[in-house]
Structure 1
């Protein structure tokens, strides 16, 4: 049988693998998704269920947020209880999200993982691509011959027909979980440790006298650590608590932890509140491990994402959120390289950006999981306070809160986060998340969010913050003149990878009338000057800001001919000549 041919083989049909495949299809590539289980037959049980604001923003850029919000339940705040009284502490990053600044997603979204997977698979199938369920990845070979564009040959077993299929692809992505076969066959280490902590997680329909019980709450328990109380889809509640060594001994080890035991201990954990179970859909007892892959890329052709390259506890719900960030970061870079537009340096930036960031997630998780379990991390050795007080101190740090919610995630200067050595033109830095803000449409005057126009279709958005044209018109003219040169970057690189916007900070009835010159791309107005203020752009000088496809800032340059030359330097580092 002739081998199948695709651009990218994605191994693993969970949310991360499905999201990568969906994006690749959306970006005009041909992905092939294989999954050893039949997802259509799998029950809708627990696992990851919480998406934080930045993750929802990213899903919105690829048209998935609304689909998920239609099925899930949102929380905007939460309470923390100690001995039945509301006190400061607990999951403070999930409390009072109305105070969050430059995002319109001031909430968390709760939806069981299987339902998220279903929506991503449906979105993939909307592009005419069906996943290969009941197909197990067995191995791969790489042939780097000069004329061998499809240099990876993967071997996949059809578990129904009991036969091996060959698949030729340009790239291979392992999103096949913590026991990743792709990672093992690529000889990538998975360094870290498993702890002795055991936690219970369960999804149930319950009755309780807990105040505001459909909030994202937490409870201090002397015997069961810090209790997670999380509303979930379809009226369910996710309950989580520590199953101590003392409890394990009481029930004769994990094998003695039945559903009845889990329910009985849950009732004790939430005391003094009452808890009655009407139905339990799922429960598990699991150990905590923090591990990270030695690299997220091997042979320049094999990439890892999600649990395949990092695992950690559910203490602050970072697993799925971190995996979504991996998927969003990787897919557009793969797409541009598949299409012959991106350089190898663009793919190299995936590991360079994500692995140090994931290391920070894991280091944070070690601290959080120990404090939740009632133990003192080494950094707090010698402290006398109860661990719950130290955990409160930890989450009171606004930087830690924003990092947990994803809004504070930024990346250092690099080839994809290019720092112009000239004078600063904005207070936003390359590598920072793009703040969201309302702009105004011409004519109708309707408000439109900046991030909604920065939709992720594997294109760079070049935005001229044009300020007040009374001051900046000559600069706009110099930009247009520089772009018309035969050696400018728009002449050297494929035009389809760029998208242009011009945003003046004044009111007007037409783009050209306001600017005094023909606009570059689509014009939106910043009448309140809010966008210029939030990005720190002087309306009398303006600036050009490049937004990467994933809506992080790529570079900021001056709005003149020299700025256009800097853009050529930036894109030359990551894109190939057309």
Structure 2
């Protein structure tokens, strides 16, 4: 389409994000942390206020914690602890026949919970604002131009936008326009950018502009969803439960503010036809609920929101175009809301992608790293579709719950649904699992060592997120979680598990690795605070397997407590795996499967996934991995 009277000089920015839902805001949060120039555009006048997604997995809460908002989410949310199951009792009523815990112990330090999408968006928008990134609302996207193929073009993407006019909205309340925008006489603005992220939902404008198809189909299964304040004598109304009756199925999901969400099975659509949602009313959903819950009574005090959907699963044929324009969330995969994964997987798409784009923009990573987005996230999307299809089939079958197999079904998919099993191994952004390792005097031959690399650190999985256990800060004995060290500040994290430094041989090994990392030629040092100060892209932490009083902090090499003329020594980088002052010890070494007499090196990406793991002596392997993905620093170029 051609737009009249275009301005020749457009606005330039590093990144454009289209869509200010959870995925778009997560992408913008990373941009704010990296301090890249970003514009996030949304066609709606305000954020979501009611309804939509609400389930939050423990992995999503870990991500929120890395941005500093998990405590607010958890304090306001409805915690999901137990799932209960109901079936017909054979005499016209219902009976509770099974109760299962919602989240297995030890999976995460966070418990899965439920909180409205609107509140999540509000918190993410605040993170963006703290970094100077504001959402531009009421912005209509008009045209996405062809991506320039000339490598010398720094801003190869052009997008045309226009502010929507809201009748009755005072002009002073309309979204602000960037003062540098090029605007023609029709109010059309032209933006050129280096990268663009389409987070604009299932009917993605970005995907359509790129001509990318979404492959899949809709089923005949139809469900209603309603948020309300119930008035009922059903005993489990404030607990997650599944009710299978002769009249259909209901999923009960307790929400914040006394709200309850009901997923209500409706009559199937006519095969091959789309459901006419306009014919389904809230009162029809209430009527169906009363039939399913009989003989329990059911009324309501108020209705907050409702919708109707026809189950379908689709996945985009491609996740990006020329590794310049990317799709995340519902723009690239759609499924039913029954498994509570929509917001979670969408957030995690953006969490995986945006730090890579920002790192390329800032000159930290090579641009080839962007290919890893589809490599890493497509398998997740494909498994999501498969799990959703199987779940819908299981729960929609009349009497399926009554036939048993619930525990087996939940166990089969539990780790995926919790979000903690996502595995990026095989990506170029993850070190290979099998590498040739040098031989030590107390070990078998080199050939045998190659097969032992995964056994040495048995509970640290390359490609997966690093679990969090409690440790003690050396400087002040403060109990701290390893997860809190992995904040989303845009930096890689090198965790040096020193082993027991009271053992002379281990102290020698630790000093040797410290010298190697402290060398001016070491790529880790060149990217650390020692050389880069506040511009560092790598944080270094030491976690000792000996009491804090046995090794004075300032006796350690300077790389573990760098000096700053304004603030003095750094005291937040050395920790110990020992009981805290309350006698609590989670045995981080043991739970990671790390030998306390040998220690190891663990390199985590900015998104908390383990990229490299090796013996303390294996700094050469670490250097090799870094050389594959990092751009050269100035000192490397000199």
Whether the TM-score (by the shorter chain) exceeds 0.5 is yes
Distance 1:348 1:111, change over 3 A: same
2:319 matched residue in structure 1: 296
On the 8 A contact 1:27/1:335 being kept in 2, the answer is: yes
Q: Deviations over 1:308-358 (max 9, x none)?
A: 000001121111111011011112111101101111232111110000111
Aligned pairs for 1:315-354 within 5 A: 315-354=338-377
Q: CA deviation at 1:55?
A: 1.0
Secondary structure at the counterpart of residue 436 of structure 1: coil
Cα distance 1:18–1:516, how it changes in 2: closer, same or farther (>3 A)?
closer
Match of 2:68 among 49, 63, 69: 63
Find the partner of 1:267 among 270, 280, 290.
Answer: 290
SS at match of 2:208: helix
Deviation at 1:491, TM superposition (A): 5.6
> How big is the alpha-carbon RMSD for the aligned residues of Structure 1 and Structure 2?
2.4
Structure 1: 5+ residue stretches without partners: 376-384
* 1:530 aligned residue: 587
Query: What is the match of residue 240 of structure 2?
Result: 216
Q: Secondary structure at the match of 2:372?
A: helix
Among 43, 46, 52, the residue aligned to 1:47: 52
* 1:178-235 superposed Cα distances (whole Å, 9 cap, x missing partner): 111111111222111111111010000012222243222221122223x211111221
Mapped to 1, the partners of 2:153 and 2:559 lie a distance apart of 44
The structure 2 residue matched to 1:284, chosen from 274, 291, 307, is 307
1:415–1:570 contact (8 Å) kept in structure 2: no
Shift of 1:443: 4.3
Q: After TM superposition, give the deviation of residue 394 of structure 1 in Å.
A: 4.7
SS at 1:415's partner residue? coil
Per-residue deviation, 1:391:
6.0
- Normalising by structure 2, report the TM-score: 0.82
Secondary structure in 2 matching 1:503: strand
Larger C-alpha radius of gyration, 1 or 2?
2
The residue matched to 2:229 in structure 1 has which SS? strand
Map 1:83-232 to 2 at 5 A: 83=88, 84-88=94-98, 92=100, 95-97=101-103, 99-105=104-110, 107-141=111-145, 142-160=147-165, 163-225=187-249, 227-232=250-255
Matches within 5 A, 1:348-367: 348-367=371-390
Q: 3-state DSSP class of the match of 1:538?
A: coil
The one of 457, 475, 478 equivalent to 1:446 is 478
CA contact (8 A) 1:371 1:390 kept: no
Q: Matches of 1:480 and 1:245 in 2, distance apart?
A: 65
Alpha-carbon spacing, 1:388–1:410, altered in 2? closer, same or farther (3 Å)? farther
Stretches of structure 2 that go unaligned for 5 or more consecutive residues are 1-6, 89-93, 166-184, 438-448, 562-572, 579-584, 634-638
Instruction: State the alpha-carbon separation in 2 of the partners of residues 322 and 166 from structure 1.
Output: 32
Distance 2:216 2:575 in 1: 49
Q: Aligned residue for 2:85? A: 80
What's the counterpart of residue 556 of structure 1?
A: 613
469-478 vs 451-460, which deviates more? 469-478
Rounded to whole Å, the distance in 2 between the matches of 1:288 and 1:127 is 38
Of 512-521 and 257-266, deviating more is 512-521
Deviation at 1:30, TM superposition (A): 1.8
Aligned partner of 2:466 in structure 1 is 434
Post-superposition offset of 1:3? 2.3
TM-score (norm 1): 0.90
The question of 1:569 aligning with 2:592 is answered: no
Q: Deviations over 1:29-67 (max 9, x none)?
A: 121011111115x6x221111111111111111223223
